[in-house]
A and B are shown apart, each in its own frame.
Chain A
């Protein structure tokens, strides 16, 4: 019954994947990453400069919180309505969840800040809950990290993941978990417990408009905004899961991985789960080794550095998400909207999806993410390390960033 739908969603949504980068594009990208790194190290500022409290206050018309909340509830209602439609490839539910919501949340947050906090219908539904006990100190971002992993698994590994029963079951379980969290710990649970609020918050810190620590809305340098992300339990896990899941998504289209999946004799979901875990594990291992080494070389505690530097991974994640999902978002986003209006024959506008255009967007986004990440790590190193060790302490970090960026480019080359 639903089995004939499943392959339509081999890699997220949509049957088309981007052309692999050419060798020339790969080399240009890798060279740019190296040059950017050494330029940052060589010529960037010598004293910490980023300040989360910076920014010019902006006067805005206050929007009552109820408006975005109503919009959020409306979105939920539209999604619920699609579950009443037939479970065919023309059902927009998968496109709404995987494309408009999951992929679209990042650019929307980059533009407007942490929007999901304002829209999140699960938060709205739990507004009446009073905290019954305080959230234990060690919980931090761990629930969000688990939620992000669970969503990545749904999107990239789960069998029949484009079908209504699978999507519906996942969403129902997730909603119950989040409402339970809010029931015990109050609506503030969502701030660090909800995977999508956390993703929106991380990307939203790179917006040019944001709230300073004192609550003032301000125009600001996005670097100042993201520098305000402070270490907390689970924060590194969130960053690592996000980067690892995107890498795995790219890898799952690579020939070597396809062949391995088909020929190793294990059921595909088992291979997929192990692969997803392995890629996240590799990203985490590289991160931990590099940041701890950096801490030691910088004569600072090794334990402290992974958390201090988690913010510098965010732009790398964002750059890679843009690179990997840009064309999918443009094409499948249009198609999803067309399906919502019952126009399955709609021919999407493809003017911005030319082979060189997509490759250029991909390389630019990845290198820009790399540049911002390197600058953030540099500034944090200046803040944390004693002056004499500020440069040597950064070398492992540079190596890490170059490794991530080249790995990302390589995956776009093979995948």
Chain B
């Protein structure tokens, strides 16, 4: 179902929330708050950066879940949580980092260069069950845990 691609907007929203995010060890009960509404078609504005090289945002692709995360001053927004997806889903991960960094999806060993300050996305068909951490390399942050059932 094509819907407007809300990446940039969501990232901005998320940035606005950075200041008031939870303090350490407060359990944020809803990890899936990270997920934007499903099934968007990314025809519009796939961030025009070098970083998206490993993400093939094919214009026709519809994905089952989009996860939008922002990293600013070593702080992850929304706070590190769990995102549950079903095996076989197509997942889109969009990350905006305030420093140039590299995103890494464990287990699937997918990487994505993150340019400073601009969103970058990758799409991933989750064909294996398990729990996989999605992490940044330079800042060593776990952004979320992808739970594939």
Partner of B149 from the list A4, A14, A19 (CB cut-off 8 Å) is: A19
B42: interface (CB < 8 Å)? no
Binds A, one of B2-10, B33-41, B55-63, B104-112: B104-112
**Chain A proximity of B76: nearest CB distance (Å):** 7
Query: Do B107 and A14 touch (CB < 8 A)?
Result: yes
Determine the distance from Cα of A3 to Cα of B138 in the docked complex, in whole angstroms.
Answer: 8
Determine the distance from Cα of A255 to Cα of B74 in the docked complex, in whole angstroms.
Answer: 17
Determine the distance from Cα of A327 to Cα of B79 in the docked complex, in whole angstroms.
Answer: 28
B145: interface (CB < 8 Å)? yes
Q: Give chain A interface residues in 72-86, CB to chain B under 8 Å.
A: none
- Contacting residues, chain B, for A8 (C-beta < 8 A): 104, 106, 109
Determine the distance from Cα of A259 to Cα of B144 in the docked complex, in whole angstroms.
Answer: 10
**Chain A proximity of B68: nearest CB distance (Å):** 18
Return the CB mask of B95-119 against A: 1 if under 8 Å, else 0.
Answer: 0000000101111110000000000
Chain B, Cβ-Cβ closest to A89: B109
Chain A, Cβ-Cβ closest to B23: A263
Q: Give chain A interface residues in 345-362, CB to chain B under 8 Å.
A: 350, 354-355
Q: Give chain B interface residues in 21-38, CB to chain A under 8 Å.
A: 22-27, 31
Query: Do A259 and B106 touch (CB < 8 A)?
Result: no
B92: interface (CB < 8 Å)? no
Determine the distance from Cα of A17 to Cα of B141 in the docked complex, in whole angstroms.
Answer: 17
Chain B, Cβ-Cβ closest to A327: B130
Query: Do B147 and A263 touch (CB < 8 A)?
Result: no
- Contacting residues, chain A, for B131 (C-beta < 8 A): 16-20, 253
Do A7 and B27 contact each other (CB < 8 Å), given the known contacts A255-B80, A355-B149? no
Determine the distance from Cα of A19 to Cα of B147 in the docked complex, in whole angstroms.
Answer: 7
- Contacting residues, chain A, for B79 (C-beta < 8 A): 259
Determine the distance from Cα of A7 to Cα of B110 in the docked complex, in whole angstroms.
Answer: 13
Determine the distance from Cα of A253 to Cα of B129 in the docked complex, in whole angstroms.
Answer: 16
Query: Do B129 and A256 touch (CB < 8 A)?
Result: no
**Chain B proximity of A314: nearest CB distance (Å):** 28
Chain A, Cβ-Cβ closest to B148: A19
**Chain A proximity of B109: nearest CB distance (Å):** 6
Return the CB mask of B48-84 against A: 1 if under 8 Å, else 0.
Answer: 0000000000000000000000000011100111100
Query: Do A7 and B107 touch (CB < 8 A)?
Result: no
- Contacting residues, chain B, for A255 (C-beta < 8 A): 27, 31, 80-82, 145
Do A10 and B106 contact each other (CB < 8 Å), given the known contacts A4-B137, A258-B80, A355-B149? yes
Do A15 and B147 contact each other (CB < 8 Å), given the known contacts A255-B81, A256-B25, A260-B25? no
Q: What is A's interface to B at a CB cutoff of 8 Å?
A: 3-4, 6-8, 10, 14-20, 89, 253, 255-256, 258-260, 262-264, 268, 327, 350, 354-355
Smallest CB-CB A-B distances: 9 pairs: A15-B106, A15-B107, A16-B107, A263-B24, A17-B131, A16-B130, A260-B25, A355-B129, A7-B135
